[in-house]
Amino acid sequence: MAELTAGIVCEFAQVRERLLFVSSGAITRVVHETLPARLGVMLAMVVEVPHDERDRAHDLRVAVYRNDTAQRTFEWVAGFQVTGYAAQPGESLYLPFVAAEMGTAPIPVYGGYDIRMSVDGNDGPLLTVYVVDKPPG
Amino acid sequence: MATIELVIHIEAANGEAVWWAESPEVPGFSAAAPTLAELRTRATAALAELRDDPVEIVERLVGEERGDVRVAETELVIA
């Protein structure tokens, strides 16, 4: 079964030539002076695909939930399929993905926002980002 | 056992992601489900019934080629 082996909330990320570039990762706080706002951060992920599942399509999901009400405010769903990766016999594939669109998740109130991710219904790490007001001074 | 290609799509409808599939070998056939696993189960069962024989499915996701991976995305802003 495919697995999410890493999830990193970051300022910016991109995939180039199979490699994941992450800038300013492990974000847990986002400052917004006014609300409503957009989350404004990205999610970088690494998915492990077992050798025997490389020909199948896979279902990768990222959802943002308010952690005070459990209300889902945003979801990004992607399908992916390996087409030509030159793997060694039995080698699992480690595929990088970026959910840049997560930055558009609506932020109606200050507080914690849980980021849940899964591949083929198999949950990955649960991350929480706190959206806070600008500190006084 | 016949081998049938399942062409898989994803799109957003009514605030939810919907997976759907068609097959060039079975004109008029389509199946849809909220998850890819459910779609696979439904399509395999329906195609086996239509063919009156178990089928082996070969999947082809419709999406953008990004190096060695084909990707299709949809985004749902709920609130």
Residue B1, chain A, CB below 8 Å: the answer is no
pLDDT per residue as tens digits for the range B30-53: 999 999 999 999 999 999 999 888
Q: How many residues does the structure list for chain B?
A: 79
* pLDDT on residue A87: 82
Distance CA A121, CA A57 (A): 13
Locate the chain A residue with the closest alpha carbon to B64. Answer: A80
Dihedral sign, CA of A58, A40, A126, A71? negative
pLDDT by residue for chain A (137 residues), tens only, comes to: 999 999 999 999 999 988 999 999 999 999 999 999 999 999 999 999 999 998 899 999 999 999 999 999 999 999 999 988 778 888 999 999 999 999 999 999 999 999 999 999 999 999 999 999 987 76
Q: Which fold has domain A3-132?
A: Immunoglobulin-like (2.60.40)
Domain boundaries, chain A: 3-132
What's the complex ipTM?
Answer: 0.88
What is the least distance, in Å, from the CA of B69 to any CA of chain A? 4
**Which residue among A76, A77, A95 sits closest to B69, beta carbon to beta carbon?**
A95
Q: Check residue A21 and report its DSSP letter.
A: E
Query: Higher pLDDT residue, B76 or A35?
Result: A35
The string over A33-60, giving b where at least 16 C-beta atoms fall within 10 Å of a residue's C-beta and e elsewhere, is eeeebebbbbbbbbbbbeeebbebbbbb
In contact, A104 and A74? CB cutoff 8 Å? yes
Q: Which residues are within 8 A (CB) of A78 and not within 5 positions of it... i.e. 6 or more apart?
A: A59, A60, A61, A97, A99, B10, B71, B72, B73, B74
Sort out which chain A residues have CB atoms less than 8 A from B66's CB and list them.
15
Q: Average pLDDT in the B6-24 region?
A: 91
Q: Cβ separation of B61 and A57 shorter than 8 Å?
A: yes
- How far is A97 from B3, CA to CA, in rounded Å? 31
∠ CA(A112), CA(A113), CA(A119), 5° rounding?
145
Mean of per-residue pLDDT scores for chain B = 90
Amino acid at A74: F
Q: Which of residues 14-33 of A touch B (CB under 8 A)?
A: 15, 17-18
In this prediction, residue B13 carries a pLDDT of: 83
Best of B61, B64, B65, B74 to mutate (most A CBs within 10 Å, chain A)? B61
* Residue-level pLDDT at B15: 80
Of residues A132, A128, A135, the one with CA closest to residue A66: A128
Contact criterion met (CB < 8 Å) for A80 and B75: no
**Residue A60, pLDDT score:** 96
- Say if the Cβ atoms of A80 and B63 lie within 8 Å: yes
Minimal-distance CA residue of chain A relative to B21 = A57
Residue among A74, A80, A83 whose CB faces B78 most closely: A74
**For residue A2, what are its two tokens?**
């495919």
Task: For residue B41, give how far its alpha carbon lies from the nearest alpha carbon of chain A (Å).
Answer: 13
**Chain A partners within 8 Å of B33 (Cβ):** none
Condensed to tens digits (0 to 9), the pLDDT of residues A43-75 reads 999 999 999 998 899 999 999 999 999 999 999
Peptide bond into A36 cis (omega under 30): yes
